[in-house]
Amino acid sequence: MMQTNTIAWPAPAKLNLFLHINGRRTDGYHELQTLFIFLDHCDWLRFHINDSNQVTIEPALADVPLEQNLIYRAAMLLKQHSAAPLGVLIELDKRLPMGGGIGGGSSDAATTLVALNHLWHIHLPIDELAELGRQLGADVPVFVRGHAAFAEGVGEQLQPVEIKEKWYLVLVPPCHVSTAAVFQHPDLKRDTPKQKWPELQQGDWHNDCEPLVKKNYPEVEKALRWLIEYAPSRMTGTGACVFAEFEHEAHAREILALMPTWLHGFVARGKNLSPLHVVLQQVYA
């Protein structure tokens, strides 16, 4: 069995290969259809277990109070399921951008739930762990479950899928997009008809948030305009990150090498099984 007190646990990025918004519910949430895949580009967390009954995170995230940090909230939520004085020091190696639409905060929270569920010997089943995740954010359950998925409802209805694992060039424009602000905006497109998964597999994928975000965040529009010169491109989630898909890593890296200096970016492989769950399988092997 792997020595779990010394390993780094990955919190992978995700992409929404499409995001269709089907309507707004009376409670203010939105009905949507989306396809989640994981990338092998991750934040990394190390968990140093102790009996201090305290949750400490190093380094602290700038401009995010500890009580609002999703990692902290995930650990505190899990602590409620044990009477023992559980404590942990969490080292965070933050590589995923905040406000980028690739799930950095949600993924960190999910990795915290999955890792501490094991390291604190709580052993909640995956369904309960995903339900805890849902209290932290709509995207957390897909990271907890760890498989590429077609999502419906408000994102909580997950159907595991297998898609071809391609290469992706992801650009990170120099801006932070608020998910809440996008979904509350009156100009958001909310009328894409629902389709069944077999129909969607054959269809023309798009992101209903993209026109609004491009209008309000010129950096996103500029990044898309540059990338689309080289390959079909679109935005992930509510932005700000945009991506293009490639059959071969070398092609993606050729385009990355041409990237203008005002942008950041990376190349990563799409994954049906989350890198987090690859580690989890090794832990239990």
139 is annotated as an active-site residue: yes
Task: Tell me the DSSP string of 212-238.
Answer: HHHHH-HHHHHHHHHHTTTS-EEE-TT
Closest CA to 275 of 7, 55, 6: 7
79, 139, 214, 271: the catalytic one is: 139
How far does CA 226 lie from the centroid of its chain?
A: 24
222 is annotated as an active-site residue: no
Task: Tell me the DSSP string of the chain.
Answer: ---TTTPPEEEEEEEEEEEEEEEE-TTS-EEEEEEEEEEEEEEEEEEEEESSS-EEEESPPTT--GGG-HHHHHHHHHHTT--S--EEEEEEE--SPTTSSS-HHHHHHHHHHHHHHHHTT----HHHHHHHHHHH-TTHHHHHHTB-EEEETTTTEEEE------EEEEEE-S----HHHHHH-TTS---PPP--HHHHHTS---BTTHHHHHHH-HHHHHHHHHHTTTS-EEE-TTSS-EEEEESSHHHHHHHHHT--TT-EEEEEEEESB-HHHHHHHHHH-
CB 196 within 8 A of CB 203: no
CB 123 within 8 A of CB 117: yes
Give the integer Cα–Cα distance in Å for 190 and 121: 43
Name the residues annotated as catalytic: 14, 139
